[in-house]
Structure 1
Amino acid sequence: MKLTRRCGILLHPTSLPGPFGSGDFGRNAYYFVDWLSSARQSLWQMLPLGDIGAGNSPYMSPSAFAGNVLLIGLDALREAGWLKDEELVPDASFEEYRVNFPAVIAFRISRLKLAASRFRESASEQARLAFENFCDKTGFWLQSYALFKTISEVYGAIWQEWPKPLAKQQPAAIDAFVSGHPNEIHFWKFCQWCFHEQWTALRSYAHSKGIDIIGDVPIFVSLNSADVWANPELFDLDSSGYPLAVAGVPPDKFSDSGQHWGNPLYHWNRHAETRYDWWLKRMKHMMDTYDYIRLDHFRGFQAYWAIPADTEIPAEGKWMPGPGNAFFDAMKKEFGPLRFIAEDLGVITPEVNELRKKYELPGMRILQFAFDRNPANPYLPYHYNHDTVAYTGTHDNDTIKGWWNTLPEQDRDFARRYLSVSGDWINWDLIRAAWASTAALALTPYQNILGLDSSARMNRPGEKTGSWEWRFAWKQVESWPSAYLAEITEIYGRSYSR
């Protein structure tokens, strides 16, 4: 991957302002692109754009391919004639600075169902043709996804608890179900088409402003997903479809007790037998969606932490060998130079570093991990190489102000002396340090541009509720931060023309 000095902002689209309870691909996403352009930023990084799952997490999606239907801009559906003005009155339970997911899901899904019904009744020939072409192109995942979502609505349970003929995908049972639920299956396909059309338009607009998109691909998928249901042989499951072991990590910088994610683990030998066909299709889809990909939990491709399915204690897991070179050889053979950023955080061994360097993937460095008074700390900027992406923090970290308020005084003193600052403007001090570093790319979450405290934190690893809900309002965005960010972008040589 060719690396030039660039910089940008991490902000998930659900965190955008908007009248319908959460951000989406509507007009506020375009306004944010304009803000990025005014600040001379050339990268917009997002969290996974897939449907959310347990805990409203974008890392527990019911599909490794489908987009989050909550991101569909409803105003565009009104402009198409599929929704009416009176159907788009915001719900009283919507919150300005937080996504109230139950209210948002109920409101948006009901409107999307109205739009799908009117599309079936009155769509133009051009729209119908575009929809059919989309269904044909994405059929390798769209049909099983739409079926999975529809069966889930009908039976209201995880797929392992569905009637056995459906859980086991017996052809006669599937055919009968499809015949009995054509409109419901059509609805989920319609939503994915709307997502694709709106995302394509937004990404094109970003490109017109000189901005590339960094996407995020979770290494694991949810147990209750179309992928596991449709391809159980590719996962480490028992005969009933339940995992023999689940994913997580041992204690690390993000969590003193480790993390129990609960995702099923891959049956890597089966993937190898298919020459990684499912993964190649997945990554082709992602590379068509984004310009660059942050490959989540990169170390899991070298070795992953397997926690026995009968325990909730992460420390009881053990390291198991991942696919390693064979996986990335297959990727490189199929795609050529890999536009991946390796999320190489956590317990990183020399073998993980060797794998990353062999395939010329830039790694990540987090400034919030740097100031423990240890000169050998790899997160201190003087240790950075060019093949590095410098972050002030990620979505898993506290905001800079929140982090600073809880940092031990000795570490704060070291940070002040290292950076030669008072710490009174610590969010901008860390942004400047990242931008000034030798790392090829530098990014910061948008909360730090706004100078927000811990109440604006996006995720708290290891906690199952209360995350992914933060959003901002335009009244929080003063005029000077974009000008100041543009200035330091120029000073540190990160201005970039696409």
Structure 2
Amino acid sequence: MRKSGILMHISSLPSKYGIGKMGKSAYDFVDFLVSAGVKCWQILPLSPTSYGDSPYQSFSVYAGNPYFIDFETLKREGLIKKSDYEDIKWQDNDHQVNYSIIYNNCFKVLRQAYKTYKRDISKRYKTFVEKNSSWLDDYALFMALKFKNNGKPWYEWDKKLAMRDSNALKKASEELEKETEFFKFIQYKFFRQWSNLKKYANDKGVEIIGDMPIYVSYDSVEAWVSPELFQFDKHKKPKDVAGCPPDDFAVTGQLWGNPLYDWEYHKKTGYKWWIDRLQFSASIYDIVRIDHFRGFESYYAVPYGDETAENGEWRKGPGAELFKAAEKALGKLNIIAEDLGFITEDVYKMLADVGYPGMKILQFAFGEDSTNEHLPHNFTSSNCIAYTGTHDNETLKGWVSSQSSDTLKYCMAYLGVKKKKDIPKNIIKQTWASVAQTAIAQMQDFLNSDASARMNTPSTLGNNWQFRTSEDDFTDKLAKRILKLNKMYNR
């Protein structure tokens, strides 16, 4: 079935509290999607953000972001009063998230909710804790220790704790019992609110496309608890780290700094860690987009300590074997493969072997010639997802303002338009008109937002992940325009 989607993270939802939340505005957005005939809502990873505020650098692959917990829902449940959160200054700009303000205030409100709740820990809470104990116990202790250590990464903690000495861990668990319970409570409330929101969307015929980063952060509970998963030395330091080689977009490459997986170890375990992770992702999303999918065929390894990614090398990954093992254990998986970047014949073969749809990006289509694989006339199959741009791209309006005259000349000829200002809406039309099974645009592109609304500029720190919408953006007029587009192109 042909369908369409809108890409917008929870953080970008309208809110009086500095960042989007899983409350009324989230439900209103689902209603907006329904009225616009949109069947998919694509979000970024739901994980807690750490260094650089990126959802792709998280403390945990399982935990949910506390910032998204809706205060008004907690108030209705009798856990907090209006004065606990309404008297706080949550933002200094209506259109940008200020993560520092959120970090310094969000946990105060959640602690008040926990203080009220813990007097009567419910059966439902206990069931959640038991069901998720495989990751929740370690995560809660990790976060309690992190707060005790003023936010320092685990590898800067006391050496015995960093290396998980059993006596040190036992002592910390006893001392921080109340604090670890608080972090379990946060996750309970997060997943209660998320499951209710997802059910509402699904009941309305809207699927959630969630994002699963390929890598974990070095400062994560996984790196602290399970060093055997990674290419670490005996001191739990990475031997090499993840990145991308130099190209036209980044002349010294992209140095991500994430630990690399010990694929030999994962193979010996039958890829159990990955199967568990995929199973969890499939339980909280309807469709899972796997970031940097090409890294499963070959990954780029940069020596730990290098300041750029220029001295890296390509090494073989597990390929399709991992996903065949996962499908044998879990059944058919609903996955989108982010197959962007340096793509080789071996990557194309892996994609063909697993059968997952890859991605086509219209912003990448006009820089070369008529053979560019991202041009709609070159889509060889409907088994792909067409995007105007991803969270790493400029907004369409911003893209137009940054392109060369030759690129714009070709683009305008291809689209059949005579004015630059008409390019964005016609790129959306081309995306929707394509044979791709699903067509997706960033919310910013429907709003015709300029470059200031860009979600992320890769390889940069600061000014990313901040884009926010307001209630005024989601008009009946816009919903009707998108609905007309969906009807015109049978989506």
Q: TM-score range by the shorter chain?
A: over 0.9
Q: How does 1:370-381 map to 2 (within 5 A)?
A: 370-381=365-376
Question: How far is 1:163 from its partner?
Answer: 1.9
Partner of 1:97: 95
Offset of residue 325 of structure 1:
2.6
TM-score, with structure 2 as normaliser: 0.97
Match of 1:87 in 2: 84
Could you tell me which residue of structure 1 aligns to residue 142 of structure 2? 148
Task: Look up the match of 1:115.
Answer: 113
What SS is found at the alignment partner of 1:83?
Answer: coil
Distance 1:62 1:163, change over 3 A: same
Unaligned runs of 5+ in 1: none
CA distance 1:189–1:160, shift in 2 (3 Å): same
Residue by residue over 1:135-172, the C-alpha shift from the partner in whole angstroms, topping out at 9 and shown as x without a partner, is 00000000000011011111232212222222222222
Residue matched to 2:390? 394
Contact 1:19/1:90, CA 8 A, preserved across alignment:
no
2:159 aligns with 164
Greater mean deviation of Cα atoms: 475-484 or 251-260: 251-260
For 1:389, give the aligned amino acid.
Answer: I
1:280 aligned partner: 275
Residue number among 41, 45, 48 corresponding to 2:45 in the alignment: 48
1:315 corresponds to: 310
1:281-296 equivalence runs, <5 A: 281-296=276-291
Kindly state the Cα deviation for residue 314 of structure 1 after the two structures are TM-superposed.
Answer: 1.2
Secondary structure in structure 2 of the residue aligned to 1:417: helix
Aligned: 1:493 with 2:490: yes
Which AA in structure 2 matches 1:415?
Answer: C
Question: What amino acid is aligned across from residue 236 of structure 2 in structure 1?
Answer: G
TM-score (norm: length of structure 1): 0.96
Identical-residue share of aligned pairs (%): 38
1:185 to 172, 180, 183: 180
| Residue 27 (str. 1) matches residue 21 (str. 2) | no
SS in 2 for 1:23: coil
2:204, 2:252 → 1: CA distance?
44
Q: CA deviation at 1:252?
A: 4.0
CA distance in 2 between counterparts of 1:93 and 1:6 reads 37
Q: Contact 1:252–1:347 (CA<8 Å) still a contact in 2?
A: no
Output the CA distance in 1 between the equivalents of 2:77 and 2:277.
31
In the alignment, structure 1 residue 467 sits paired with structure 2 residue 464:
yes
**Contact 2:32 2:474 survives alignment (8 Å):** no
User: What residue identity is the alignment partner of 1:397?
Assistant: N
Number of residue-to-residue matches in the alignment? 487
1:403-442 alignment runs, 5 A limit: 403-422=399-418, 423-442=420-439
C-alpha distance in 1, partners of 2:13/2:442?
13
Alignment check: 8 A CA contact 1:160 1:240 kept: no
Determine the structure 2 residue equivalent to 1:338: 333
Whole-Å Cα distance in 2 between the matches of residues 6 and 257 of structure 1? 39
Aligned pair in 2 of structure 1 residues 355, 55: CA closer, same or farther (>3 Å)? Answer: same
Distance 1:363 1:93 in 2: 39
- Partner residue of 1:62? 59
Report the equivalent of 1:139.
133
Deviates more, 1:283-292 or 1:82-91: 82-91
Q: CA deviation at 1:288?
A: 0.2
**What secondary structure is seen at the aligned counterpart in 2 of 1:36?**
helix
TM superposition shift of 1:90: 5.1
Match of 1:78 in 2: 75
Shift of 1:121: 1.8
- Give secondary structure in 2 for the equivalent of 1:386: coil
What secondary structure does 2:289 align onto?
strand
Contact 2:415 / 2:423 at 8 angstroms: preserved in 1?
no
Following the alignment from structure 1 to structure 2, what is the Cα–Cα distance between the partners of residues 154 and 165?
Answer: 15
Letter in 2 for 1:140: S
- The partner residue of 1:106 within 104, 107, 110 is 104
- Return the alpha-carbon distance in structure 2 between the equivalents of residues 428 and 252 of structure 1: 29
Residues of 2 paired with 1:11 and 1:276: CA distance? 31
What amino acid is aligned across from residue 217 of structure 1 in structure 2? M
Match of 1:324 among 300, 319, 322: 319
Q: Deviations over 1:172-230 (max 9, x none)?
A: 22121111111100011000000110000000110121100000000000001001111
- Structure 1 residues 454-496: Cα deviation after superposition (integer angstroms, max 9, x where no partner): 00000000102210011011223443221011011011111xx
Letter in 2 for 1:150: A
Partner of 1:217: 212
- Please give the secondary structure, in 2, of the residue aligned with 1:190: helix
1:52 aligned counterpart, secondary structure: coil
SS in 1 for 2:310: helix
Structure 1 position 305, deviation (Å): 0.6
Partner amino acid for 2:82?
A: D
Report what 1:37 is aligned to. 34
2:353 to 346, 351, 358: 358
Q: 1:467, 1:85 → 2: CA distance?
A: 30
1:237 maps onto 2:235 in alignment: no
Structure 2: where are the runs of 5+ without partners?
Answer: none
Superposed displacement of residue 376, structure 1: 1.1
Change (3 A) 1:183 1:438: same
Q: Deviations over 1:109-137 (max 9, x none)?
A: 110011111111245xxxx1010000000
- The equivalent of 1:481 in structure 2 is 478
Question: 1 CA distance for matches of 2:278 and 2:448?
Answer: 35
